[in-house]
Amino acid sequence: SQLAEENSWALSVHEGESVTVNCSYKTSITALQWYRQKSGKGPAQLILIRSNEREKRNGRLRATLDTSSQSSSLSITATRCEDTAVYFCATDAATGNYKYVFGAGTRLKVIA
C-alpha cells in the first residue's frame, strides 16, 4: 500500500482561483516534500516541511502539516495557467536513510 498518497486524482480550476491539494501518509515522518511535475519534465521541489513545522510558505504556495492526522495540504493562490502540472507529496517514513516515497500525484489543470 502507498505510504504517501494524494487525496484527489485530478482537479481543475479557473485562472486566478485558489486550489488545495491534500496528502495523507501512513507512517511517522521527519519531513514531507511537495513536488510539481510539468509535462515531459522531471519533478521540481516546491516545499519541504519538517515534522516540527506546521506551515511553510513559498510565494503563492502554502504547505501545512498535521502529524496527528498524518496529513498535509498544499494550497496555491491566484493560480496561473503555468501551474498546470502533476503535484506529488513525498515522505521519508522516518527510516533514517533519507529516501522518499512519492504518492501517485494529483493532476491540476488551470483553465484560462
Partner 1 sequence: EAAVTQSPRSKVAVTGGKVTLSCHQTNNHDYMYWYRQDTGHGLRLIHYSYVADSTEKGDIPDGYKASRPSQENFSLILELASLSQTAVYFCASSEANSDYTFGSGTRLLVI
Residue numbers at the binding site for partner 1 (CB under 8 A)? 30-31, 33, 35, 41-45, 48, 88, 92, 97-105
Select 3 or 15, whichever has its Cβ closest to partner 1.
Answer: 3
The one-letter amino acid at 102: F
Q: CA 32 → CA 10, 57, 101, distances in Å?
A: 21, 14, 10
Select 102 or 110, whichever has its Cβ closest to partner 1.
Answer: 102
Q: CA 52 → CA 12, 63, 87, distances in Å?
A: 32, 13, 23
Cβ atoms within 10 Å, residue 39 = 7
Q: How far is the CB of 37 from partner 1 (least distance, A)?
A: 9
Q: How far is the CB of 49 from partner 1 (least distance, A)?
A: 11
Select 41 or 112, whichever has its Cβ closest to partner 1.
Answer: 41
Q: Do the Cβ atoms of 97 and 35 come closer than 8 Å?
A: no
Q: How far is the CB of 24 from partner 1 (least distance, A)?
A: 14
